[in-house]
Amino acid sequence: MKIKKLKILQKYLVHILRREIDPKDLKEKSIIHSKSLGEHFTQPVLQDLYGVEKTDDYSKLDMPLVFALLRNFCENIKPPIRGWDYEPPDDEEIVCADIERIRSMWNKYCDNNYDFRNLDDVSDRMKNKNGTVAVQNNPELQNKAQDEMEDFSEIIEKIQSIKLNPDCTVETSIVITEGIKSALLSLETGNVVICKGAIGCGKTHALKAIQNRSIKTKDGK
C-alpha cells in the first residue's frame, strides 16, 4: 500500500508540471539549458523531452527529469526553506517542500528503506490541492493507465536533485546570443545599430534585448 501511494505521488509531480509550464515555454527553456541537460540525462530521455508537443506528453517523461524540470524551469516553484536536497521541517507544508519529500521518500525506497514518515500527510495535501489523479471511467484509458503503472513499477532509479545552468546569458527572459552581444557592444560607442536578416532569424528578439538594456541603463541598474 505504501509503495502504491508513493507511485501515485510521483504522478502528482507530472500533474504539477502540466499546471506550471506549457509545452512552448518548456521547449524554449530546454534549448537554453541544452548543454546542462545533456550532461545529466541520456539521449533517449532527452528525446522524450524534445518530442513534447502537448501537456499530455509530460506523462512520458522520465521521473528524475520531471523533478529537474520542476526545480529549474517552473518559476512559481521556489526552493524549500532549507533548500533543495534537504529534508523540509514538518511545519513547511507548501508545494516545493512536498516535492522534495516525494523525492526523498522515493530515494529511500530505492535503498529498501520504507520509513516514509510524511507519506500520508503529503498524500492528503496533494489530493486537497490537486484533486485525485485518476483516469475516467473508460476501460481503454484504465487499461492504458494500468500498463503505465506496471512499466513504472519496474523503474527503480533514484531521483537526483540537479541544478541546470543555461548555455548562455539570459537577461529579462531574453537569451543574449553572440549577435546580440555584438549589437550591444556597438551601442556602447555609437547611437545606431542595424539589425538585418531573414524572417525568424531573431531581429525582434535582438531589439527587445536592446530595449531592456536601455531601460536598465536609464534606471541606473
Q: pLDDT band at residue 171, thresholds of 50, 70 and 90?
A: low
- Taking the C-alpha atoms of residue 45 and residue 146, their distance in angstroms, rounded to an integer, is 22
DSSP per residue, 195-216: ---STTSSHHHHHHHHHHHHHH
Which helix or strand (DSSP H or E) is residue 171 part of? strand 170-171
Instruction: Check the CA dihedral 209-214-219-221 and report its sign.
Output: positive
If DSSP codes are grouped into helix, strand and coil, which group holds residue 174?
Answer: strand
Instruction: Kindly state the average pLDDT of the residues 171-183.
Output: 70
pLDDT of residue 138: 39
If DSSP codes are grouped into helix, strand and coil, which group holds residue 121?
Answer: helix
- Taking the C-alpha atoms of residue 196 and residue 217, their distance in angstroms, rounded to an integer, is 24
Q: Greater confidence, 157 or 116? A: 116
- Taking the C-alpha atoms of residue 120 and residue 136, their distance in angstroms, rounded to an integer, is 24
Q: pLDDT band at residue 126, thresholds of 50, 70 and 90?
A: very high
Residues 6+ apart with CB under 8 A from 89: 81, 82
Above 80 in pLDDT, residue 46?
yes
pLDDT of residue 219: 63
Average pLDDT score over the chain: 83
Q: Does the predicted TM-score (pTM) go above 0.75? A: no
Q: pLDDT band at residue 40, thresholds of 50, 70 and 90?
A: very high
Domain positions in the chain: 2-153, 170-219
Other CB atoms within a 10 A radius of the CB of residue 26 amount to 22
Cβ distance 77 to 70 under 8 Å?
yes
Q: Greater confidence, 209 or 51? A: 51
pLDDT of residue 59: 94
pLDDT of residue 206: 78
pLDDT of residue 185: 83
